[in-house]
Amino acid sequence: MNAFGADLHADRTIVVTGAWGGIGFATTTMLLERGARVVLADRDAGKPEQRDQLARWSDRVQFSKCDVTERTEVDAMVAQAAARFGRVDGLVNSAGVDRRHRFLDLEDDEFKAIVDVNLMGSFRATQAVVRQMGRQTLAADRTYSIVHLSSVNAQIGSATHTAYAATKGAIAQMTRVLAVELAPARIRVNAVGPGTIRTDMLDRWVAAKPDALDAVMLRTPLRRVGEPREVASVISFLLSDEASYVTGQTYYVDGGRIAQNLPY
């Protein structure tokens, strides 16, 4: 079997928050295809067609209703994962919200709500998983892995994105700090920063502003929207032993947008 075959994540239990969303679900299915046991943590129940798609992996799937803004729910979700599968080896912090506001219209409560999901939610899930990892044994040639979802908005400025961009920039910095602090425990921490990806979030944005996508494509050298599985493949790599010497990094999956960010 080649390095990125069906056994890449064999014997690994990985928690995915925001698992029913576009990137979260693409990551979940890819991890299952590559042998992982996956805990789908989300405050929603998923679509019937999504659950049907996962039926063939029922012995390696656990559904956990979990709101990442609630500490007790996050702790219970990780405890249930360990009880079902015996351990937790990886985490993907995919839960997130993106709400656009003109700066002078942005209220304190809305800013706090976005921070609570995107930043504090990742903090809570990471803390709970790291505590579980500390109760486990790990083979000498293995590492644990945590992958956060950042965004191109951590690097570029986009109007009406004050709260969202602030959280994603903070995620990138938290990734670096945790990579240093958790390295002695052999826990690697990285992030992935998607650009414009074909998700429900993008569909809602385009529906509200149909000409916006054309403007983004002018700033994207590859001139197309990315697919969720293209982000999932980078997440899968970072979770695997193939990335055993990679930590503290943010990988941008953006079609070259950060490299250019200006029309020709």
Q: For residue 52, what are its two tokens? A: 């049907």
DSSP string, 182-219: HGGGTEEEEEEEE-SB-SHHHHHHHHH-TTHHHHHHHT
CB 86 within 8 A of CB 13: yes
pLDDT at residue 263 in the model: 59
List 164, 245, 252, 264, catalytic entry: 164
Alpha carbons 99 and 118: distance in angstroms, whole number: 11
CB 257 within 8 A of CB 221: yes
How many structural domains is the chain composed of? 1
CATH classification of the domain holding 243: 3.40.50.720
Chain centre distance of CA 79: 20
Does 191 reside within a domain? yes
| Strands ordered across the beta sheet of 250-253 | 61-65, 37-42, 13-17, 90-93, 144-149, 187-194, 250-253
Indicate the pTM of the whole model: 0.92
Residue 1: which pLDDT band, with cuts at 50, 70 and 90?
very low
Residue 208: which pLDDT band, with cuts at 50, 70 and 90?
low
Alpha carbons 28 and 169: distance in angstroms, whole number: 25
The DSSP code for 20 is T
Does 262 reside within a domain? no
Question: What average pLDDT is seen over the chain?
Answer: 92
Tell me the average pLDDT across 190-206.
81
| Domain region containing 145 | 13-197+228-254
19-23, 85-89, 144-148, 220-224, range with the lowest pLDDT: 220-224
Tell me the average pLDDT across 119-137.
97
Tell me the average pLDDT across 15-35.
97
Does 18 reside within a domain? yes
Does 186 reside within a domain? yes
- Nearest alpha carbon to residue 194 among 46, 68, 94: 94
Does 237 reside within a domain? yes
Contacts of 203 (CB under 8 A, 6+ apart): none
Q: Is 164 a catalytic residue?
A: yes
* 3-state helix vs strand vs coil in the chain, percent to 5: 50, 15, 35
Does 2 reside within a domain? no
